[in-house]
Amino acid sequence: MTTQSATTTIPVSRPFFGPEEEALVAQVLRSGWVAQGPRVTELEKRFAEYVGAKHAIAVSSCATALHLVMTILGLHPGDEVICPSLSFIATANCIVHGGGTPVFVDVDPVTYNLSPERVEEAITPRTRAIMAVHQVGLPAAMNEILAIAARHNLPVIEDAAPAVGAEYFGRRIGAPHGLIACFSFDGRKILSSGEGGMITTGDDAIAGRLRKLRTQAMSMSDAARHSARQIVFEQYDEVGHNFRLTDIQAAVGIVQLSRLPELLTRRRYLAARYTEAFRSLGWLIPPTEPQGLVHNYQSYMPRLKKDSPISRDDLMQALLDRGISTRRGVMSIHREPPYRAVKWDRLLPESAALTDESIILPLFHSLTDQDQDFVIENIREIGSAPRS
């Protein structure tokens, strides 16, 4: 049995920070402006340039980004938003917080993303939007989804929480392809500021309203108030939120964005090593990267075949016993109490199967080749061990 020190555990994920992040954060702390300010503006500008968007609006998380987007849509009770169940629960929660109802659609078992055929079948007179999730960093089938949306005059929202750096036929996710794209900067994401998020859009009016709503719908920015040469008083003409990003977080994000090409290159290298190693196993299906799409490998999520020599849960436990941390595949939201309904079990078989049969393996920038080899060798040994 391949083992390592019992006190050593290979985590499933680890952010990568260096002295550059520390130095820029120190500058912000010494400046006295730690709330939303000039560093947030700088990050927004740089992020928009990176993805190719006209506007980028920084917020406190991807969940609050999606919440604001639902507000922009003006949902009312009974309004439906189509989305995958195979996603983090925030995807559905934001629809509910925005006053609508999530309508779950099954996914393609190969890409883990929305099945366009299932999307079209789910559209009703109550449908107000389609939310496409670029799951674990692989772009969804945007051309097909956008064509369906156009036929039904529906906006497409991209939950791009894990998708920074991913590309769809030569364009980076966030350009955006749909009306709006929302990103996450939490601790497990490739570009991390601890917490935080970003919204990108090409619509001037939407961008302006999002900037207001994230700051309690205040009529002017803090920067405008503080730089004014005469006394000014702000107004609040609608109900807003405090969904701001701090300059401390933005400082980390600015450096992380400059690191992104290096982070993506390393991640794709490690993912390719996993895929090559697993091709010969026969019971573990590597994730796919369809032609024209660039996967950022936010997570490396292979799937166990139904006739696998070991169950997914037993594999996870066996790896943990050997000092290797993993996670189950992406959750199926419809199995959680707030969203449980009998009809979803019938309509979402692929989502449920993926949740039960997939596993997220360690993948992060500082994962060494040696530690990755340790993970691979243990998976091989566990899968080939005789069963009692």
Interatomic CA distance for residues 206 and 251, integer angstroms:
25
CA neighbours within 13 Å on the CB side: how many for 198? 37
CA angle 164–169–173, rounded 5-degree value: 20
CA neighbours within 13 Å on the CB side: how many for 128? 19
Interatomic CA distance for residues 14 and 20, integer angstroms:
17
Is position 54 annotated as part of the catalytic site? no
Interatomic CA distance for residues 177 and 112, integer angstroms:
19
Catalytic, out of 189, 212, 306, 343: 189
Interatomic CA distance for residues 137 and 161, integer angstroms:
8
Tokens of 283: 């019971």
* Strand bridging mode 55-59 / 167-168: unpaired
Give yes or no for a contact between 333 and 104, defined as CB atoms under 8 angstroms apart: yes
Closest listed residue to residue 67, CA positions, set 93, 89, 85, 86: 93
CA 175 to chain centre: 15
Residue type, 165: G
Strand partners, 130: 82, 156
3-class DSSP state for residue 62?
A: helix
Give yes or no for a contact between 189 and 298, defined as CB atoms under 8 angstroms apart: yes
Neighbouring CB atoms inside 10 A of 283's CB total 18
Distances (CA, A) of 229 to 1, 35, 232, 235, 317: 72, 21, 9, 18, 64
Interatomic CA distance for residues 42 and 40, integer angstroms:
5
Q: Catalytic positions, please?
A: 189
